[in-house]
Chain A
């Protein structure tokens, strides 16, 4: 097996097939990035897995998963103020959490440089929205580079870090999902190696560093001046590539993955436009854009999500009196969804149907989508199955971010509203006001509890809110790939003090706390009922380790025997509680109405056994007594 950690530390130049995210990890090492921080979130976690594949003692950088994106930003900022080139990375909506500190970064003298890698998610593949973080760049006066492929991600990161160090300003590298996860052969440069410098370079003489009263305005002036200088520097062929087409009267300005989609769509066209591909999307590279506008009669702005470039380009054309027809978004559809080749074909056909070769009739899918679901044996399933029995139909349930959010799907339908990380206690509190008849139950996972859940809980205690919070504690950050969190007793660098959820709750002044294993359904029903019968704020901790993580760890053991349960066809009364209401995906329906258990899926944990009213489920015969299958 090729060793990723060794590859990332290679000192010669080499080529390798890598993910966009892995290419970034190498760029961080090559550029001498010394401090890297993050909070896990798709599409970025593989940057961390790559970095962490380098054994601790060999890492030419410090890495941590911080408690949340705001803290991660602050740690990277502090390190940069002390002279260490740093990088913070997280997913699109992570920037909302980080924003309070993030918008201040450009006001400081970031001695070591700081690159923020943002994983935007057009198409909302694994996010609660598809927000366009270019808007934040404008608010925070931070330039944005936007690669369209893993090779570009590597090159742009090096450029971003160089610019950031030169100008002592933050730079954003805006990735999108399929650039992060794209795989191709990337040619990497040499790396001369080197240890992290321990010299402390924090120095306030380049200040002011405290943006209060008049200083805030002066710092803003400096940030603006730096931004426009950086903008001029990047208004260069390195970031503004022109490709000639066959129809020189028409042009397209585009960036990122939509550029690649466009090339694909135009592959079989006889008439093709000229293309200006922008690698820097904020501030607008005015020289390159002006030249391109002047050279064409019609220019289409092809950009994913919002009309950020469109607005800037139209303003530029107006200000400079350029006579050109600029075609932007045709309708709301053009703002929604990822610009895949199929989408770009649709968008382009609205403007220039002659350039988009006709395709066959649209294929109609005949199957319902396959929604994601909780894994076989997941403790959340057991908990939801029980909690549903403790609630009355009118009660209101509030979901939070994490695997347990999948409980909103049938058959559980638990968690009827979702905003953001940690929102559930606050939103639940609001729902409980003037709502005597209907009880409110909120859910939260343990990683989210530490990330942004605490203020809502403090508020519930502080303001005497009347709701029950159920902490679904599985010991890990499961949804993003099992990263450790403050309650896990480990961090990215080794063992650390586990912060107990219960201890935190007690410290925050929560008086009513109950704990139970999520597999003990009867007990859980009882405790939830008790908690809900109380006036005021109560918490139930439903605990069970993430079974995907647990099973994977077990499978590494050479003596591991895969177990599974079976349905005794004699006893089975075809009540279908297991398959329709408990809903473990291992239960499969027979054509004749019976139920059997898939050996491929079942992990044999037995959490389903208690759900069968006629006791038809039991461990498979060959698994009983521990003998090998």
Chain B
């Protein structure tokens, strides 16, 4: 299989770690070679967080070059725009969870908030297919799983099926929250 590069981003606290680990494990359950890396550190405190996952092909580095990700998964609208601008390959796909965590300059009144139309517009310009996910959830901490669910249903990662995502969550989540997360994944 040709390599499939994924770039994920969000705001520290949104649970990007679980999202990327679930994608990595799902790809592994699907029998594909995979590697990845998250950014940590200061960014955990409400800053931008990003994660790279590379599926298939010879493993070189987990880091992905700008403009070369076939799939962008973003947990927040501002970060979706930033991610597409930096990492999306022409012909790629953006899937983001449509919530807004206003960055500092917006809250200070120094910049406008990013709108869903802004994101669409940039996607059109860069030839990126655009999907927004919005869904009522029992707990905001499940937005990452909701995004995963949409990616699974749309078959956005070649070769990775719903059962693989399911197994990945079984590997990762403690018993007491597993059932409700699987409901979000498959529901």
* Chain A residues engaging chain B, CB cutoff 8 angstroms: 1-2, 17, 42-43, 125-127, 149, 177-178, 181-185, 257, 260-261, 263-265, 267, 340-342, 345, 359-360, 362-375, 403, 406, 409-411, 479, 558, 576, 579-580, 583, 585, 587-589, 591, 598-601
- Please give 17 more A-B residue pairs, beta carbons under 8 A apart, in addition to A261-B63, A365-B82, A372-B43: A1-B171, A1-B175, A17-B25, A177-B40, A183-B62, A257-B61, A264-B60, A340-B65, A359-B65, A363-B66, A367-B114, A370-B104, A372-B45, A374-B45, A558-B176, A588-B102, A589-B107
Known: A126-B40, A600-B140. A1 touches B79 (CB 8 A): no
| In the bound complex, CA of A125 to CA of B108 (Å) | 25
Q: With A370-B47, A370-B78 in contact, is A261–B61 under 8 Å at CB?
A: yes
A126 touches B107 (CB 8 A): no
B19 contacts partner chain A, Cβ-Cβ < 8 Å: no
Indicate whether A370 sits within 8 Å of B103 (C-beta atoms), given known contacts A42-B41, A185-B28.
yes
**Min distance, Cβ B32 to any Cβ of chain A, angstroms:** 11
Contact status of A183 and B61, CB under 8 A, knowing A409-B104, A589-B113 = no
Q: How far is the CA of A200 from the CA of B108 in the complex (A)?
A: 62
Query: Once bound together, how far apart are the Cα atoms of A239 and B68, in whole Å?
Result: 32
Q: Does B100 contact A (CB under 8 A)?
A: yes
Give the docked Cα–Cα distance between A478 and B165 (Å). Answer: 32
CB proximity to A under 8 Å, residues B99-121: 99-109, 111, 113-114
Using a CB-CB cutoff of 8 Å, which residues 122-176 of chain B contact chain A? 122, 140, 170-176
Pick the contact of A370: B21, B41, B79, B170 (CB < 8 A): B79
* Nearest A residue to B89, CB-CB: A360
Residue ID in chain B nearest A579 by CB atoms: B107
Which B residues, 66 to 98, have Cβ-Cβ distances below 8 Å to chain A? 66-67, 78-79, 81-82, 85-86, 90
Give CA–CA (A439, B35) in the complex, Å.
52
- Rounded to whole Å, the gap between the CB of B15 and the closest CB of chain A is 12
Asked if B65 contacts A373 (CB within 8 A), the reply is no
Report yes or no: B107 in contact with A580, Cβ–Cβ below 8 A: yes
A259 vs chain B, min Cβ distance (A): 9
Assess whether B16 is interfacial by the CB under 8 Å rule: no
Residues B108 and A580 in contact, CB atoms below 8 Å apart: yes
Summarize A's interface: helix, strand, loop or mixed.
loop
A182 contacts which chain B residues (CB < 8 A)? 35-37, 62
For A184, list chain B residues within 8 Å (CB): 34-36, 59, 62
Task: Let me know if B1 is at the binding interface, CB within 8 A.
Answer: no
Question: In the complex the two chains form, is B104's CB within 8 Å of A359's CB?
Answer: no
Note all chain B residues with C-beta closer than 8 A to A599. Answer: 140
Instruction: Determine the chain B residues whose CB is within 8 A of the CB of A410 once the complex forms.
Output: 104, 108
- Residues of B with Cβ closer than 8 Å to A? 11-13, 21, 24-25, 28, 33-48, 59-67, 78-79, 81-82, 85-86, 90, 99-109, 111, 113-114, 122, 140, 170-176, 178
A181→B101 CA distance, assembly (Å): 26
Contacts of A43 in B (CB 8 A): 40-41
Cα–Cα, bound, A579→B102 (Å)? 11
Q: Contact at A367–B45, with CB atoms within 8 Å?
A: no
**What are the residues of chain B within 8 A of A17 when measuring CB–CB?**
24-25, 28, 34
Instruction: Give the docked Cα–Cα distance between A87 and B174 (Å).
Output: 31
Q: Is the CB of B104 within 8 A of A588?
A: no
3 nearest A-B pairs in the assembled complex, by CB-CB distance = A126-B41, A372-B47, A260-B61
* CB contact under 8 A between A588 and B61, given known A42-B40, A42-B41, A374-B46: no
Interface contact B47-A371, CB-CB below 8 Å? yes
What is the CB-to-nearest-CB distance from B20 to chain A, in angstroms, rounded to a whole number?
A: 8
Chain A residues, CB < 8 A from B12: 372
Are A126 and B42 interface neighbours, CB within 8 A?
yes
A149, A178, A364 interface centre (most CB from chain B within 10 Å)? A178
Name the residue of chain B whose CB is nearest to the CB of A593.
Answer: B109
For the complex, give the distance between the alpha carbons of A601 and B143 in Å: 13
Residue of B nearest to A364 (CB): B85
With A341-B61, A370-B11 as known contacts, state yes or no: A183 contacts B108, CB within 8 Å.
Answer: no
Question: What's the A-B contact tally at a CB cutoff of 8 Å?
Answer: 178
A585 touches B63 (CB 8 A): no
Give B177 Cβ to nearest chain A Cβ, in Å: 10
In the bound complex, how far is the Cα of B154 from the Cα of A75, in angstroms? 54
Report which of B46, B67, B101, B140 forms a contact with A372, defined as CB distance below 8 A: B46
Interface centre among B62, B85, B105, B109 (most CB of A within 10 A): B62
B86 touches A363 (CB 8 A): yes
Residues of A within 8 A of B90 (CB): 360
Partner of A1, one of B40, B108, B113, B170: B170
Q: Is the CB of A367 within 8 A of B82?
A: yes
CB distance B39 to A125 under 8 Å?
A: yes
Q: Which residues in A have their C-beta under 8 angstroms from that of B171?
A: 1-2
Using A42-B41, A342-B65, A588-B102 as known contacts, say yes or no to A183 and B36 having CB atoms under 8 A apart.
yes
Query: In the complex where A1-B170, A17-B25, A43-B40 touch, is A375 in contact with B62 (Cβ < 8 A)?
Result: no
Instruction: Name the distance in Å between A283's Cβ and chain B's nearest Cβ.
Output: 27
- Given the known A-B contacts A409-B104, A580-B108, are A267 and B60 also in contact in the complex, defined by CB atoms under 8 Å? yes
Q: Among A183, A263, A342, A580, which residue has its beta carbon within 8 angstroms of that of B35?
A: A183
CB distance from B13 to the nearest CB of A (A): 7
Kindly identify which residue among A2, A261, A583 contacts B172, using a CB–CB cutoff of 8 Å: A2
Given A360-B67, A479-B42: A1 in contact with B173 (beta carbons within 8 A): yes
Interface centre among A183, A373, A580 (most CB of B within 10 A): A183
A232 to B79 Cα, complex, angstroms:
50
Residues of B close to A411: CB separation below 8 A: 108
B3 to chain A, nearest CB (A): 9
Are A576 and B109 in contact (CB-based, < 8 A)?
Answer: yes
B85 touches A600 (CB 8 A): no
Q: Are A372 and B44 in contact, with the CB atoms below 8 A?
A: yes
Cβ of A600 and Cβ of B101 under 8 Å apart? yes
22 contacts between A and B (CB under 8 A): A1-B171, A2-B172, A149-B59, A177-B40, A178-B63, A181-B39, A182-B36, A183-B38, A183-B62, A184-B35, A260-B61, A340-B65, A341-B61, A362-B66, A370-B46, A370-B104, A371-B104, A410-B104, A479-B42, A558-B176, A580-B108, A589-B107
Q: What is the minimal beta-carbon distance from A188 to any residue of chain B, in angstroms?
A: 15
Q: Which residue of B lies closest to A127 (CB)?
A: B41
Please give the distance in Å from A252's CB to the nearest CB on chain B.
Answer: 14
Whether B48 pairs with A369 at a CB distance below 8 angstroms is yes
A383 to chain B, nearest CB (A): 16
| B40:A183 contact, CB within 8 angstroms | no
Within the complex, what minimum Cβ distance (angstroms) separates B94 from chain A?
14
Contacts of A341 in B (CB 8 A): 61, 63-65
Whether the Cβ atoms of A367 and B78 lie closer than 8 Å is yes
Cα distance, A181 to B52, chains bound together (Å)? 11
Interface centre among A261, A264, A340, A589 (most CB of B within 10 A): A264
Q: Name the residue of chain A whose CB is nearest to the CB of B61.
A: A260
Cα distance, A182 to B25, chains bound together (Å): 14
User: Smallest CB-CB separation from A150: which chain B residue?
Assistant: B35
Could you tell me the distance between the alpha carbons of A598 and B102 in the complex, rounded to whole angstroms? Answer: 10
CB distance from A6 to the nearest CB of B (A): 13
B45 touches A345 (CB 8 A): no
**Which residues on A sit within 8 Å (CB–CB) of B105?**
368
Chain B residues with Cβ under 8 A from A367's Cβ?
Answer: 78, 81-82, 85, 103, 111, 114
Q: Is the CB of B170 within 8 A of A363?
A: no
Contacts of A264 in B (CB 8 A): 60-61, 63, 65
- State how many angstroms separate the Cβ of B37 from the closest Cβ of chain A: 5
